[in-house]
Amino acid sequence: MVLKVFFPQCCNRADSGLMVGRWIPSHESAVVLAVIHYPFIPGQVKVYLQQMRAQSGVDLCILGSWSLPKEEEEGMESFLQDLSTIFPQRRWLQVRRTLGRTGFTCQVACRDQGEKEKDEEEEKVIFVHYEQKKVMQSQLHPIKESNSQSESELRQVFQTVASSGPLFFMDRYDDGPLKSTHWQTEGREASILVELLRQASTPLCILLTWILTVCTSVCDLRMFRFYPLSFLCSKLSSCVQLSYRAEHMRMLSNRNAAMQHQHFMRKANVLLSVMVDVALGLLLMSWLYRDQNITTLSNTVLPAAHRVAKELEELLQWLMGAPAGLKMNRALDQVLGRFFLYHIHLWISYVQLMSPFIEGLLWYGGLSACLGLSFALSLLSDAVALFTFHIYCFYVYGARLYYLKVYGLSSLWRLFRGKKWNVLRQRVDSCSYDVDQLFIGTLLFTVLLFLLPTTALYYLVFTLLRLLVVLFQGVLHLSVDFINSFPLFAVLLRLLRPYRLAEGVKFRVLCEEEGSALHLLMEMNPLSCSAVVQTYRTPTYSCYPKDSWSALVKKLFVGELIYPWKHKSTKTD
């Protein structure tokens, strides 16, 4: 078996001393975490190790000795060799390096005599050089939370380095009895921004919690529980978006720091997405409130509504005549056409009534964009839904009529052939009808059949209109969904610090010399951008169509009402 020693790059030029680290038993490998320099007192080293073991929870031990002899130190080799008796280990590594040569040599001394007899030849050693800072901060994907011993070797190495934080607190400016070399020897790294954020976060969290409690107490008023308002609130996408963001704020204002990687990434993504959302909303507001844009917009609403009403009236007049050369049933045509025309007349008078208030509404509605662009977009989608309510009504009327007709036709068709639908057995059975039943059934069947083209045409026209509106609303919802779920922090991290999100590692063979062991350099293999987005997407109340295309077409054909954008409730995972 080949012995693998994971050696940190920062210790390549460390002074002679003892190597501290951990053995990974099942894979015949050792991870070197730091080098404690000569001079030291072995008793103090043991005490220090015990302290570190307790603080970090990692099974640290002295792996062996490291010697990089300089001119003055001659007796170093023998001294370090004698140390193997003081620190009892099953295996003792003696790593030697001479200045001027890049390769290390390693000798493994086994404690048990029995093992020594088995391996007559020298044990083969591989030195894997790793950059300690990068390995410590990186996270291997796919993320597994288990802490079992049967994990792969690389995961155990990463875990060992990541949990050994307390070992890296002692730097060379400390006046302690021991001096060690590791990645923070030159001084502990910290960022001013992070420290400032940490200080500012506590009062901010308290403020946020207070605001949220006020808002939730308002929302929990009794009047919102009763049927009309609660139904309305569940249908309006702006209310849904508001509750979704409130959920996020609640998660952010939680003062406990995120312990696990997933939790931390989720918090960071949400925070960044909320900030970008608010920034875009403020940008929209700055455009809206300048140069009388609101007045221009509100002045176009009334003419646009008139135009839409006129187009619809023309459409209905066309249907009431002979549309596309088809001959309609005059009476039904007139009834349906006049009914819909009256509906449009009602709607246009409603819009005219509302017209003086539109500018005010736009002004106050635009203020809501300060909560975020997603909120403004969902408000727009709700406004579109309200303004095209008449199209929705037309669609429902047409669809219901058509559905009843198709249902009646299919049932009477069965009667025409002498069959009946057995509800109990859910199948078609034969049935003997009386003569008068057959007579009336056939009459009704004929009537319905000849009225079918008229109803079908009205249904087709209004379904197409409704689908147009649904498409527009869908685009708005998809963009809101994108703003909600895109993991901006994760993508930025992947672009700026690619070693933090690692898919795996890659090895490179470093230059070899005669007589030295094999040296490899271990680097992080960063995760691809698409995998980053997939892993760290924030779950949303996604509104993807719940029917497949074939089911949708079938529903349209039969006349069932379609609700293509159905909101899923957010479930916390």
Partner 1 sequence: MMEDETFTDISGKPITLDCHSHSSFCREFNISSPKVSIGKVMVYTCSVWLVAYAVFFFTQNTAFLSSAIIITLVGMMFYIHFVKVDHESLLVIDSLGIQVSSTYASGREITTFIEMSKIKDIVINEAVYMHQIIYYLCVLLKDSSEPSVVSSVVPLFESSKPRLNCLVKVYKSCQEILSKCQ
- Yes or no: say if 377 and 480 are a contact pair by the CB < 8 Å rule: yes
Give least dist CB 149 to partner 1, A: 12
1 versus 259: smaller Cβ distance to partner 1: 1
Q: How many Å is the maximal CA-CA distance in the chain?
A: 123
Q: Which of 429, 512, 544, 553 binds partner 1 (CB under 8 A)?
A: 512
Tell me, residue by residue from 525 to 564, as one string, x for binding to partner 1 by CB under 8 A and - for no binding: x---------------------------------------
Region from 1-9, 158-166, 478-486, 564-572 binding partner 1, contact rule CB under 8 A: 1-9
Distance of CA 457 to the CA centre of its chain: 44
Task: Verify binding: residue 513, partner 1, rule CB under 8 A.
Answer: no
Q: Which of 178, 272, 285, 518 binds partner 1 (CB under 8 A)?
A: 518
1 versus 221: smaller Cβ distance to partner 1: 1
- Yes or no: say if 79 and 40 are a contact pair by the CB < 8 Å rule: no
Q: Which residues of 422-455 are buried (b: 16+ CB within 10 A; e: fewer)?
A: eeeeeeeeeeeeeeeeeeebeeebeebeebeebb
Task: Verify binding: residue 520, partner 1, rule CB under 8 A.
Answer: yes
Q: Which of 110, 467, 505, 552 binds partner 1 (CB under 8 A)?
A: 505
The residue behind tokens 């009403």 is 309
Tell me, residue by residue from 147 to 176, as one string, x for binding to partner 1 by CB under 8 A and - for no binding: ---x-xxx----------------------
Region from 52-60, 294-302, 492-500, 504-512 binding partner 1, contact rule CB under 8 A: 504-512
**Pair type for strands 105-110 and 419-422:** unpaired
Task: Verify binding: residue 435, partner 1, rule CB under 8 A.
Answer: no
Q: Which of 220, 509, 530, 573 binds partner 1 (CB under 8 A)?
A: 509
Task: Verify binding: residue 314, partner 1, rule CB under 8 A.
Answer: no
Distance CA 115, CA 131 (A): 33
Region from 265-273, 360-368, 442-450, 498-506 binding partner 1, contact rule CB under 8 A: 498-506
Task: Verify binding: residue 126, partner 1, rule CB under 8 A.
Answer: yes
Region from 9-17, 232-240, 260-268, 503-511 binding partner 1, contact rule CB under 8 A: 503-511
Region from 59-67, 356-364, 489-497, 518-526 binding partner 1, contact rule CB under 8 A: 518-526
Give least dist CB 307 to partner 1, A: 36
Q: Which of 1, 218, 423, 424 binds partner 1 (CB under 8 A)?
A: 1
What would the two tokens of residue 156 be?
């155990």
82 versus 512: smaller Cβ distance to partner 1: 512
5 versus 316: smaller Cβ distance to partner 1: 5
97 versus 414: smaller Cβ distance to partner 1: 97
The residue behind tokens 């569940």 is 234
**Pair type for strands 501-509 and 419-422:** unpaired
Q: Which of 28, 131, 171, 547 binds partner 1 (CB under 8 A)?
A: 28
Give least dist CB 4 to partner 1, A: 6
2 versus 232: smaller Cβ distance to partner 1: 2
Give the long-range contacts of residues 74-78, CB within 8 A, separation 24 or more. Answer: 76/16, 76/38
341 versus 520: smaller Cβ distance to partner 1: 520
Task: Verify binding: residue 25, partner 1, rule CB under 8 A.
Answer: no
Give least dist CB 104 to partner 1, A: 14
Task: Verify binding: residue 85, partner 1, rule CB under 8 A.
Answer: no
Region from 120-128, 324-332, 342-350, 539-547 binding partner 1, contact rule CB under 8 A: 120-128
Task: Verify binding: residue 507, partner 1, rule CB under 8 A.
Answer: yes
Measured in residues, the chain has a length of 573
Name 28's Cβ contacts closer than 8 Å, sequence gap at least 6: 1, 2, 3, 4
209 versus 525: smaller Cβ distance to partner 1: 525
User: What does the DSSP assignment read for 292-346?
Assistant: THHHHHHHHHHHHHHHHHHHHHHHHHHHHS-GGGPPPPHHHHHHHHHHHHHHHHH
Distance CA 61, CA 32 (A): 10
Give least dist CB 66 to partner 1, A: 22
Task: Verify binding: residue 506, partner 1, rule CB under 8 A.
Answer: yes
**422: DSSP letter:** E
Burial class (CB in 10 A: 0-12, 13-18, 19+), 257: exposed
- Yes or no: say if 127 and 5 are a contact pair by the CB < 8 Å rule: yes
Task: Verify binding: residue 124, partner 1, rule CB under 8 A.
Answer: yes
φ/ψ of 90, rounded to 5, equals: -70, -35
88 versus 504: smaller Cβ distance to partner 1: 504
What would the two tokens of residue 222 be?
């009794």
281 versus 526: smaller Cβ distance to partner 1: 526
Q: Which of 14, 76, 128, 362 binds partner 1 (CB under 8 A)?
A: 128
Task: Verify binding: residue 393, partner 1, rule CB under 8 A.
Answer: no
Amino acid 437 reads: Q
- Yes or no: say if 48 and 75 are a contact pair by the CB < 8 Å rule: no
Supply angle C-alpha 32, 520, 136, rounded to 5.
45
Distance CA 291, CA 288 (A): 8
- Yes or no: say if 128 and 4 are a contact pair by the CB < 8 Å rule: yes
Give least dist CB 2 to partner 1, A: 4
Distance CA 166, CA 51 (A): 9
Distance CA 265, CA 258 (A): 9
Amino acid 232 reads: L
Supply angle C-alpha 17, 23, 25, rounded to 5.
155
Give least dist CB 96 to partner 1, A: 18
43 versus 504: smaller Cβ distance to partner 1: 504
148 versus 572: smaller Cβ distance to partner 1: 148
Beta bridge partners of 95: 66, 106
**Footprint on this chain of partner 1 (rule: CB under 8 A):** 1-2, 4, 27-28, 124, 126, 128, 150, 152-154, 504-507, 509, 512, 518, 520, 525
